[in-house]
Structure 1
Amino acid sequence: MRAPLRSRPGPGAGHHQVLFFIAECVPFAIALVVLTIELTPAHVVYTGPLLVATPALAAVTMGPKGTLAALGVAVVVSVITATHNDAWGGQQVYTNLVALFLVGAASVVTSRAVQTRRESELNQVRRIAAAAQEVLLRPVPARLGPVRAASMYLAAETGAQIGGDLYDAVQTRYGVRMIVGDVRGKGLPAVRAAAVVLGAFREAVHYEDDLVEVISHCGEALRRDAALAGAGAAGDDAFREAFVTAVVAQIQEDATVELINRGHPPPLVIGEGSARCLTPAVPLPPLGLEEFIGGPPGRLESYPFAPGDRLLLHTDGVIEARDGDNTFFDLARAMEAMRGRTRQAFLEDLRDALLEHTKGSLADDVALIVVDRVDRSDPVRGR
């Protein structure tokens, strides 16, 4: 599932917010300038057209309420300045007020229409993003052979449904196979790379008996698409340079889990004792950087995973999350503290602990798969 998240703005959002705030202040700044001119000896300057422009400018960046507020401020300033300068006897004051009301009414109607259109477009984008997530990052099945599983995705960027993290879990004739990965970079190039790797994984897991070949297919698919991007526009530079850290796991009937890790944070297992980090004996580079593999493309490494044990596959958005003192989130300790919870409750509590640690502002996306090994004879336990 994709969990709700108080997330941070995306890259450059702070700069855009400042510019937007400045734009919103312009109509009121104009009214202040007019008021200053009219209440000083500089009132010989004709300021009427400036006030007429304020609601029109407000309609560009503010909704109907903001436009009405700008119109109200302009009317008040007009009345104050006309009274202060004894100008009520002249036709110009009334002409300015009529123009102000006409422009103001048109601006309110326009701002309302613009707001309605923007809301409609935003809702459409959200529906498309939700549909894309269902295809790209679908929740893992709750029951997969000898294991029970659950997943969660937290997008760090405001408004995002999906990003550069990826996961999946599939029941195959070779056992339960899972992948968790993280694309270098952000935005649409990262989503594209994630889609390429997931597509290759979902195809290869069903016909490749060797898990090393499965992850090799993912790397080859990424390189092929990078080559296609190289023949395209310059805008594809970010994708051509993308690489993906990933860990692929295989769980069969015996009490072990087999892993091949391509530069990804190692999974954790917890049973009766403390959480164990399944660190690979031979580090391998991420997908897309196969030229740095000096020998064979890697080998499976096997770790104990007995009934009652819990396996957690995650991305570096968890272990690299920091608090105000720049202290990293202690995932192993959090996992131990949540021992005994159902899978969904574990993920929700882990999400809450992560948000509490970071004060609700993640610096990177988070993808999680939690897997419990159970006996085949056991009924489905929890959610």
Structure 2
Amino acid sequence: MIRIKARAPTARGAVLPTLWGAAAVGYKFGCPLAQQDGLGARIVTSAVFFAVGTGLIFHVRRALLRELRLARRAARAAQNVVLRPLPPRLDEIDVAAAQLSADRGASVGGDLYEAIATEHGVRVVMGDVRGHGLAALGTVAALLGSFREAAHDEPELGSVLRRLDRALARHLRERARAEHPANGAADPDNPVAEEFVTLLLLEIDRDGELRALNCGHPWPYLLSGTTAELLSCTDPLPPLGPFPLPAELESLPCRRLLPGESLVLFTDGAEDARDSRGRFFSLPHVLREVVHDHPVSPQTVLRMVFGALLHHTGGRPTDDIAVLVLRNGRKEAQLSGARSGSTARARSARHPWPTTRH
């Protein structure tokens, strides 16, 4: 569990309030003017106590702001450790990602993403934990830790999803015991029992073939040429947490991500963002403007999308927002070579022993 502990007040910080209080008490009982009942004396006494009270308020406010800055700094450090920056390139796939938290006090969100180059291809996860803040960050840490191991260990994408489901269930059980040690189990009235995570798993092979498993998460947008279309592969599964996974989990091929094409993964905070009039943010409209007016690099897409989001919400989003852009940076010749290699490996698997002519 991640905790941010405020520092205890020091003796040095209490010196100034003590001096102000001593000055006020000394004036009240030691100054002859304070003993008089005239209007002028009362005005002076009130001014003295008002000045002392105002000074104390400003001192307390300054101390609280200092503690808040320390808490924000610690939260950002925790966020950067859990949601680490992605490399700009993974196995010829250009990558760019960023997250915008609705919790402006601590800059901590409940969105998660990761992209890893493995022997099975580039594997990507994008998810959204219910809620935000430090409790959601703990769930993010549990899921990302499991994904970073399972992405390398499991040959099938369905097995990766099962590992994530077990990690989430274990994390929620431990959190429920920590919050309700007397019960020893999850309380139905406890928010932990209602925790769920929407999740999207993607796998990009060397030949650009896409496989996906979706647990209640928005499908990504495909940027191809000057078009931006929603990529929907299969019927999504329920979110992780409330319901068990089906017995059969098979990731089906969606399509091929051709050279120069991009995928834009996002959390629902992007499309649910509203302006002052209550109008929703139009992500596909912004993406079409991006591919029409600019070279489609992941950094360009990310910059334009977040700029439009902040302008639409007036700089105050009400939900966590994460965007991850993947672009196939391979050239056509490399892709053809990868396809030939895949075909040769498939033939070798079907005919492991060489034939001899007589």
Q: Displacement, 1:138? A: 1.9
Q: Displacement, 1:219? A: 1.0
Percent identity for Structure 1 against Structure 2: 35
Please list the CA deviations of residues 301-331 of structure 1 after superposition, one character each: whole Å capped at 9, or x if unmatched: 4322011101111111112223455443332
Letter in 1 for 2:221: L
Please list the CA deviations of residues 193-219 of structure 1 after superposition, one character each: whole Å capped at 9, or x if unmatched: 222211211221121121211121111
In structure 1, the residue matched to 2:302 is 347
CA contact (8 A) 2:201 2:213 kept: yes
Q: Displacement, 1:376? A: 6.3
- Asked if 1:135 is matched to 2:81, the reply is yes
User: Which residue of 368, 371, 383 maps to 2:323?
Assistant: 368
Unaligned stretches of 5+ residues in structure 2: 1-16, 18-35, 334-358
CA contact (8 A) 2:270 2:281 kept: yes
Going from structure 1 to structure 2, the CA distance change for 1:146 and 1:325 (only over 3 Å counts) comes to same
In structure 2, the residue matched to 1:256 is 209
User: Which residue of 135, 139, 143 maps to 1:193?
Assistant: 139
Letter in 2 for 1:127: R
The separation in 1 between residues aligned to 2:85 and 2:270, in whole angstroms, is 19
Q: Displacement, 1:121? A: 0.6
Letter in 2 for 1:297: L
Q: Displacement, 1:351? A: 1.3
Please list the CA deviations of residues 73-107 of structure 1 after superposition, one character each: whole Å capped at 9, or x if unmatched: xxxxxxxxxxxxxxxxx644354244324423432
The separation in 1 between residues aligned to 2:153 and 2:331, in whole angstroms, is 25
The separation in 2 between residues aligned to 1:357 and 1:270, in whole angstroms, is 22
In structure 2, the residue matched to 1:286 is 239
In structure 2, the residue matched to 1:36 is none
Q: Displacement, 1:333? A: 2.6
CA contact (8 A) 1:140 1:151 kept: yes
In structure 1, the residue matched to 2:26 is none
Going from structure 1 to structure 2, the CA distance change for 1:131 and 1:377 (only over 3 Å counts) comes to farther
The separation in 2 between residues aligned to 1:131 and 1:299, in whole angstroms, is 35
CA contact (8 A) 2:165 2:241 kept: yes
In structure 2, the residue matched to 1:66 is none
In structure 2, the residue matched to 1:233 is 179
CA contact (8 A) 1:212 1:300 kept: no
In structure 2, the residue matched to 1:155 is 101
- Asked if 1:311 is matched to 2:263, the reply is yes
The separation in 2 between residues aligned to 1:99 and 1:246, in whole angstroms, is 65
The separation in 2 between residues aligned to 1:121 and 1:324, in whole angstroms, is 32
The separation in 1 between residues aligned to 2:328 and 2:197, in whole angstroms, is 28
The separation in 1 between residues aligned to 2:137 and 2:175, in whole angstroms, is 14
CA contact (8 A) 2:100 2:109 kept: no
In structure 1, the residue matched to 2:149 is 203
The separation in 1 between residues aligned to 2:236 and 2:296, in whole angstroms, is 32
CA contact (8 A) 2:194 2:242 kept: no
- Asked if 1:336 is matched to 2:291, the reply is no
In structure 1, the residue matched to 2:45 is 99
Q: Displacement, 1:245? A: 0.3
Please list the CA deviations of residues 131-188 of structure 1 after superposition, one character each: whole Å capped at 9, or x if unmatched: 0111122221101112111111111233341211111112223222111101123333
Unaligned stretches of 5+ residues in structure 1: 1-58, 60-89, 379-383
In structure 2, the residue matched to 1:81 is none
RMSD (CA atoms): 2.9
In structure 2, the residue matched to 1:146 is 92
Give the alignment's TM-score, normalised by structure 2: 0.73
The separation in 2 between residues aligned to 1:281 and 1:342, in whole angstroms, is 27
In structure 2, the residue matched to 1:8 is none
Q: Displacement, 1:115? A: 2.7
In structure 2, the residue matched to 1:80 is none
3-state SS, counterpart of residue 285 of structure 1: coil
Going from structure 1 to structure 2, the CA distance change for 1:230 and 1:298 (only over 3 Å counts) comes to farther
The separation in 1 between residues aligned to 2:268 and 2:52, in whole angstroms, is 52
The separation in 2 between residues aligned to 1:359 and 1:126, in whole angstroms, is 22
CA contact (8 A) 2:115 2:123 kept: yes
3-state SS, counterpart of residue 289 of structure 1: coil
The separation in 1 between residues aligned to 2:153 and 2:131, in whole angstroms, is 31
The separation in 2 between residues aligned to 1:112 and 1:159, in whole angstroms, is 20
Going from structure 1 to structure 2, the CA distance change for 1:324 and 1:377 (only over 3 Å counts) comes to same
CA contact (8 A) 2:106 2:133 kept: no
Number of residues of Structure 1 aligned to a counterpart in Structure 2: 293
The separation in 1 between residues aligned to 2:168 and 2:283, in whole angstroms, is 30
**Structure 1 runs (4+) greater than 6 angstroms displaced:** none
The separation in 1 between residues aligned to 2:209 and 2:246, in whole angstroms, is 28
Letter in 2 for 1:242: E
Give the alignment's TM-score, normalised by structure 1: 0.69
CA contact (8 A) 1:178 1:249 kept: yes
The correspondence of residues 2-13 of structure 1 with structure 2, limited to 5 A, is none
Q: Displacement, 1:277? A: 1.8
Q: Displacement, 1:263? A: 0.9
